[in-house]
Copies of this chain bind each other. A is one copy, B any other.
Amino acid sequence: MGAADLFPELPTPSLLLEQAILESNIRRMQRLADMHGVALRPHIKTHKSLDLARRQLKEGAVGIAVAKLGEAEVMAAGGIVDIQIANQVVGVRNIDRLVALASRARVSCAVDSIGNAQALSGAFADGGKVLTVMLDIDTGLHRCGLSDHGDIKALAAAIDKLPGLSLKGLLTHAGHAYAGPPENIAALGREEGETMVRLAGQLRADGFTLETISVGSTPTAPHAVAIAGVTELRPGNYVFHDMIQVGLGVATQEQCALSILATVISTPTTTRAVIDAGSKALSSDMGAHGNRSVIGYGRVVGSKLTVTRLSEEHGVIEHTGEDFRVGQRVRIIPNHACAVVNLFDVMYLCDVAGVIAEWPVHARGRSD
C-alpha cells in the first residue's frame, strides 16, 4: 500500500499527478470529440492550471471553459485566448472586469435573465464592444438556467434587440447525472443532448441563429456527444477522474491520475491508522447533485480500504489488521478531484521514476 520511500523528496500531504494516466485521459476525451466532429472545450475548474490547459489545447481543444471570472483572468494572463465563462457574470464590479477581460481574450459568458442581459449590454455597448453570450439551459440539474421554450425565446429576443450583445448558442450542464445510478447515465446524457437540440430547433424556427450547442459533464459526455446537432463538449473532471467517477462506473481506479501523498502518523490500535491528510487536503466532499457513489473520504491506493473518518488535518483509516507503520507513506485517490486541487498551491507531475515537474495551481482560490 505504500512505503516510507514513496516520493521522499516531497512534503505530505502533497498532490501527485501521474503523467501517463493524465495523458491518456486527455487523449481519450479529445478522440471522443473528434470522432463525433464536435469541438472539445475542457472546463478548467478541475485543474486551475495553465500548464494543463495548454496541454489540452495542444491536443486539439478549441478553447477552455471556466466557472468564474477570476479563473478567466488568470487564464487570459497566461496567454489563453478563447475563454467561455460557463456561468453568469453579475454586478457592476464583475461586468466592468468582464469588459476589461474582453479586450485581452475572446470571451463569452452565460445568461439566463433579461435583467442581467440588459446590464451586460449597457456596459459593452457603452464601450463600443460586443459580448458573445450563451443562453443557459436547465436540462434537469435545476440550478441556473431556463427550460421553457417561451422563456428562452423571450430572452433570445431581448438579447437580439440589445446593443453590445451577440447570441452565440445554448449551453447546459447535466450535473444531475451525478445522482446516478450508473445504469441511468447513458439515458441522461442522451436526454441532455436531445433536449438541447430540440430547443435549438425551436429557436431556429423562431428565427434565431445558433452557432454553438454546448453540453458537458464527464459522466454524460460519451452519450450527449452522440446526439446529432450537439457541437461542443465541455467536461472538466475527465483529466483526473476520482472516486466519484469510479463509483458511477465512468472510470476505473487505474484511470485516476490524481492522488494525495500522505504519511501515517499514528497507529494507536491494530485496526486504526491515522494519516496526516484530513479535510484540508482531501476535502469533505462526498458528492454533490444527489451523488451517492462513494464510501468514506478517499481510497487507499493498492487496497480496498478507504479513509473512514476525517478531521481537518487527520484521516482515520479503520482496517482489519493490515500492516500500517508510523512513517509509512500512502496514496489516497480523492472522492472529488476538483475540490481537492483547489486546496493545494502545487501539483507534482510524476511517473514511476519520480517527480517530473512542479505545476502551480494558478487559479487556486479564484472563486471571485
A contact residues vs B (CB 8 Å cutoff): 4, 8, 11-14, 45, 67-68, 70, 87-88, 90-94, 112-113, 115-116, 119, 136, 138, 142-146, 175, 263-268, 272, 274, 276-281, 283-286, 288-289, 309-314, 316, 326-327, 338-339, 342-345, 364-365, 367-368
Contact = CB atoms under 8 A, between A and B. Distances in A.
B309 A267 contact: no
A170 to B, nearest CB: 15
Q: Sort A-B residue pairs by CB-CB distance and give the 9 closest, nearest first.
A: A11-B368, A144-B266, A88-B265, A67-B313, A284-B285, A90-B265, A284-B284, A280-B367, A281-B367
A345 B361 CA distance: 14
A268 B138 contact: yes
Given A284-B285, A367-B277, A326 B13 contact: no
Chain A contact residues: over half helix, strand or loop, or mixed?
loop
Contacts of A68: 276, 313
A26 to B, nearest CB: 21
A145 B70 CA distance: 43
Given A112-B266, A112-B268, A113-B267, 11 more contacts: A11-B94, A12-B91, A68-B313, A90-B327, A115-B326, A116-B326, A138-B268, A143-B274, A143-B311, A277-B367, A279-B339
Contact of A311 (B88, B91, B115, B289): B289
A144 B345 contact: no
A13 B367 contact: yes
Nearest to A48: B280
A365 B339 contact: no
Nearest to A262: B367
A102 B368 CA distance: 39
A314 to B, nearest CB: 5
Given A8-B93, A90-B326, A284-B285, A314 B143 contact: yes
A130 to B, nearest CB: 22
Contacts of A316: 142-143
16 contacts: A11-B93, A13-B368, A14-B368, A45-B312, A67-B313, A112-B266, A113-B326, A143-B309, A143-B314, A145-B268, A279-B283, A283-B283, A284-B285, A284-B339, A343-B365, A343-B367
A65 B12 CA distance: 20
A300 to B, nearest CB: 17
A288 B267 contact: no
A279 B274 contact: no
A14 B91 CA distance: 15
Contacts of A311: 143, 175, 288-289
Contacts of A93: 8, 11
Contacts of A11: 70, 93-94, 368
A288 B277 contact: no
A318 B93 CA distance: 26
A67 B312 contact: yes
